[in-house]
Structure 1
């Protein structure tokens, strides 16, 4: 079974054990542990478990690895929604994992025969493997029902030396690079004839080549002074509160700021639990805040302009009301709306019925012109959507306001995972990102990924800061999803060649 190290293959039971451990190791690379260096280790262990596997056993190994990773990574879902939604979402994402790693097993087994030279095995196979991983992440981020762009390997690197690479290659590109390093390490393990010193040298050299890429320079072309308010409101999906309580909490947290000179005030998602476009009382409260602060107010609320509910952000000016509106483009399926309700209801009617109203999908642009400052608006899950982020930068956003409501997830990892996405978006776009939550984690992130200010979770307070504005365009924004398409295409093309080689071998 062993032969030489190139034909190394674990027994199936051992491969499944390694795969289960690998999923846990990969999760440990994410916030809040943030042991970022473990993320590529977890990926490498998955590939190690795949060596010598067929497509069928590769699918099994991938499923175990996926379940191990996802059921740990999104355990925060159980806090309010229980075990069924947690296992349903984790199971769905694990199926993507299983297919991706099953196909990767084919490449790892037959790739060295398709590219038999040493540089083919070390230079091509890791690229194909990383391309397949990137393709799997890209597909699951947009499909089904708009996808779940969570758990991408890149998102583990928000505070690592690899993080600044996101400005060059985007999130998909950063995932590709990290997985390429993991695949290269596994391929070097399979090449004992190179000698231990040479193999270590190649591995260290590959990491060094990646890390010497300089951070993309940001040119500041202005600044704005803002106040971002965290009301510490009990704004969870199943919270019991009197109407107007969340609005009052954010009003109370803002009143101590009166007298501060700011250009605008930002409140989080759902910070006004009464729609000020339909309630004179709520409108008067927002008018008062805008008047006393002598500045526009950006606030989240639920609107219903016709027969459809929207999760909306309003740009409010005293005496004028909502001068601009953004309706959330990426409402979360099975939370903010129930897709195919008639189909899913028989499986868990009590849970499905908890989603009493379906939010519509917004069609407005995600840019507010705040007295000449163009701000990109992202409501909660929007910040994880590559397309929406690229669109706001293409439309001229010079700062990003990421409004969110994390009250449903308590002290779990969800809020810090989302903050990690916001930090990477700051570096990717070369923009200041104001991540403001009802309860935390709230922080102002500068274009280099540093934290300018932050607030403790579940504490009422505000961040008042002068932040840089920028219209720098990074290579990641210029390329859009081009790099993702390129490396995914390489992965799929390489897979096709390996599959053809496998068929020929079976025929012989």
Structure 2
């Protein structure tokens, strides 16, 4: 007679528990990134998701149920993380982007729930023994999915990678110097999974364990969770050892002035437009820089400082000549737009000028234009969709990394979105860069967390490469970052400012430069091996009692 209400209450408790774990994990991931930047949460944010997968894996239909709860967690994470996209993509861009990225979190929880608790057993006192394959799988699957969503579709979207939570000096940040940002992700995921394992073991001992003679239940619980927590301590200590020291500078420096010249105000003068107002602001701010501190070795005008082709707009060419005159002929590294080879196309590029003849002495073309923001994929099929009319011109991608010589330095040239891709930066260093330069225009996103999230990429790239990074923004935020990932100068949003700095040059490389994407592909291999063992077990490999003990409980 009471079975119905009892079952109903149990189901409600299960749903409430899973809801708390999904929202807790998703919101912890969000809070670990800018704008909140609670980096310590990045060390444990995977734990609620691993606990969610464990819970779901003990019930029916673990794949389907796990994906649903994981998708909810992903939306709680990516929904607020990328809310700035609504400023450029109308209402439809935000939910589409957030949902596309949340799919990876759904896949993580579903896959881990399906994999189950293999290798787990209890001893005669009810304490869990073995079970270390599961933390390994948590780490491998998380990193493997980060790698995949960072590469596909349409070149991928690396926002929200767990390793970036450590950008603000987190305890495992320096792992990036040896293993890259995915190595930092692996360390964070491993710590989180060990925390979840410790809680699970302690809870199992508390609920069903039998204390040893002469010890109490509290001691039993401590003994059960002590080993995984010890593993957390080992991971924190080895993070320091794995990171090592950054490469030594050569002793040479380059005096750079990065001009943040556009305050977002378009001149009301007749014939003015955004491109002309931007260029005028750059010229005015450059004049103040020279008046206050003299001419630097190299001057940088950020992305879109010259927002149309100077061959087509003579007013912009005149402003550029005036800027070069202020700089006694340069060199000037200017972000500019150049017309493409056919109508409806253009290039987003960084160009070196000197003298007064506007000869484009060296050029880097952005290699990762933003899908739907700078070009429309499959335009012939999608051009009917009204929001895409905001992108009438397709920016064409470059195909070559450039270390642009200017003054005594060779600048690893990167434009905006390029810095999010470790391989882009690795190519620039391989081309001979001894300092990294990121020029960007984030004005479309307003005063949002996007700029701080963008700088987090530059901080990780500084640690990975051992180079100083100059992050030069048209309207802010601009920053100078040292090889430890520390921000040593910073500007605000929508204010005319100059970042003037002497940057030490570095020629030696880090282990991360040599290892490339090894960590990510090792994670893919381990995750695939785990899936294969699950499939083998599902097909009846070892069906007896001893085999069931080895394969574990809760196979789902």
TM-score exceeds 0.5: yes
Matched, 1:433 2:469: yes
> Which position in structure 2 is the counterpart of 1:330?
368
Which of 518, 532, 537 in structure 2 is aligned with 1:482?
Answer: 518
Partners of 1:427 and 1:447 within 8 A in 2: yes
1:342-387 deviation line (CA, Å, top 9, x unaligned): 44456xx220212111111112333212145211111100000121
Distance 1:371 1:33 in 2: 39
Query: What TM-score comes out, normalization by structure 2 length?
Result: 0.83
Matched, 1:154 2:184: no
> Which position in structure 1 is the counterpart of 2:303?
269
Deviates more, 1:305-314 or 1:398-407: 305-314
Distance 1:243 1:206 in 2: 51
Matched, 1:301 2:353: no
Which of 246, 249, 252 in structure 2 is aligned with 1:220?
Answer: 249
Which of 247, 255, 259 in structure 1 is aligned with 2:279?
Answer: 247
> Which position in structure 2 is the counterpart of 1:6?
none
Distance 1:185 1:397 in 2: 41
Cα offset, 1:91, TM superposition: 1.0
- Where do 5+ consecutive residues of structure 1 fail to align? 1-8
The 5 Å alignment of 1:35-74 reads: 35-53=38-56, 54-74=62-82
Distance 1:459 1:21 in 2: 37
1:206-253 deviation line (CA, Å, top 9, x unaligned): 3333345454232111211000110134399xxx93441111111111
> Which position in structure 2 is the counterpart of 1:185?
195
1:161-184 deviation line (CA, Å, top 9, x unaligned): 221211111011111111011112
1:293-346 deviation line (CA, Å, top 9, x unaligned): 233111111111421311111111123521011111100001111112344456
Distance 2:486 2:24 in 1: 32
Partners of 2:276 and 2:315 within 8 A in 1: no
| 3-state SS of 1:422 partner | helix
Distance 2:541 2:13 in 1: 22
| 3-state SS of 1:382 partner | helix
Matched, 1:311 2:340: no
Distance 1:201 1:486 in 2: 25
Distance 1:235 1:389 in 2: 33
Paired residues in the alignment total 491
Distance 1:500 1:220 in 2: 53
Identify if the C-alpha distance between structure 1 residues 18 and 52 changes in structure 2 by more than 3 Å, giving closer, same or farther.
closer
Partners of 1:374 and 1:398 within 8 A in 2: yes
Matched, 1:81 2:92: no
> Which position in structure 2 is the counterpart of 1:408?
444
| 3-state SS of 1:465 partner | strand
Partners of 1:233 and 1:250 within 8 A in 2: no
Which of 191, 206, 210 in structure 1 is aligned with 2:239?
Answer: 210
Distance 2:437 2:392 in 1: 29
> Which position in structure 2 is the counterpart of 1:175?
185
| 3-state SS of 2:143 partner | helix
Distance 1:428 1:118 in 2: 39
> Which position in structure 2 is the counterpart of 1:3?
none
Partners of 2:466 and 2:510 within 8 A in 1: yes
Matched, 1:382 2:412: no
Identify if the C-alpha distance between structure 1 residues 242 and 28 changes in structure 2 by more than 3 Å, giving closer, same or farther.
closer
Identify if the C-alpha distance between structure 1 residues 395 and 463 changes in structure 2 by more than 3 Å, giving closer, same or farther.
same
> Which position in structure 2 is the counterpart of 1:229?
259
Rg (Cα) greater in structure: 2
Distance 1:475 1:46 in 2: 31
Cα offset, 1:151, TM superposition: 0.6
Cα offset, 1:56, TM superposition: 1.8
Distance 1:506 1:16 in 2: 36
Which of 9, 14, 26 in structure 2 is aligned with 1:11?
Answer: 14
> Which position in structure 2 is the counterpart of 1:138?
147
Distance 1:423 1:24 in 2: 23
Deviates more, 1:363-372 or 1:480-489: 363-372
Identify if the C-alpha distance between structure 1 residues 66 and 111 changes in structure 2 by more than 3 Å, giving closer, same or farther.
farther
Identify if the C-alpha distance between structure 1 residues 242 and 389 changes in structure 2 by more than 3 Å, giving closer, same or farther.
closer
> Which position in structure 1 is the counterpart of 2:435?
399
Deviates more, 1:190-199 or 1:254-263: 190-199
> Which position in structure 2 is the counterpart of 1:196?
222
1:246-291 deviation line (CA, Å, top 9, x unaligned): 1111111111122514110011110112322444442332233223
Partners of 2:264 and 2:494 within 8 A in 1: no
